[in-house]
Amino acid sequence: MAGTPVDPKGDNFLPENAPPPQSAPQHKNSWHPFESRPHFELADFIFHQNKMPGEQINELMHIWASMPEHKGPPPFSDNEDLYGSIDAISEGDAPWTSLLMESAEAATLSADDPSVQSWK
C-alpha cells in the first residue's frame, strides 16, 4: 500500500496532482429532506432532545394546525411524517441496521419464573 491516488473504482492510477474526485451532487435545499432549518431544528428537538412519544407528536401537530395565525399546515402532518423525514436523511454512508435478539430458552420459560431476569 503506497497511498497512490486511484479512480473511484480503484482501477486506474490518477495523474500526479489530480484534484480529488467530485462528490455526489448536493441537494439544492441544504436542509433536505426537511423544508428548512427551523423544520430540522423542530425535528431534532422533538425526536432527539425531547424523545417525544408518537401520540404526543400527533397532538402537537394537531394543535399547531388549529392555530389560525400560522396560515398553513404544521411542519409535519403526524409522527409518521416526522419519522419519514428523519429516515430520508441521506447524509453520511453509515447504513441503518437493527438487531433482534431472543434467548433460545425464551419459549420454555414463563415471565413469572424467578430465574428470568427482567430487562431494564
- Structural domain includes residue 76: yes
What is the total count of domains within the chain? 1
Confidence class for position 47, pLDDT limits 50, 70, 90: very high
Q: Cα separations (Å) of 87 from 25, 75, 82, 93?
A: 20, 16, 9, 13
pLDDT of amino acid 37: 95
- Structural domain includes residue 48: yes
- Structural domain includes residue 96: no
- Structural domain includes residue 70: yes
- Structural domain includes residue 55: yes
Alpha helices in the chain (DSSP H): 37-43, 54-65, 79-87
- Structural domain includes residue 63: yes
Cα angle for residues 102, 106, 108 (degrees, 5° grid)? 160
- Structural domain includes residue 49: yes
Confidence class for position 36, pLDDT limits 50, 70, 90: very high
Higher pLDDT, 102 or 86: 86
* Cell digits of residue 22: 467530485
- Structural domain includes residue 5: no
Over 60: is that where the pLDDT of 88 sits? yes
Give me the domain span that covers residue 74. Answer: 42-88
* Cell digits of residue 12: 486506474
Higher pLDDT, 28 or 12: 28
Amino acid at 3: G
pLDDT of amino acid 69: 92
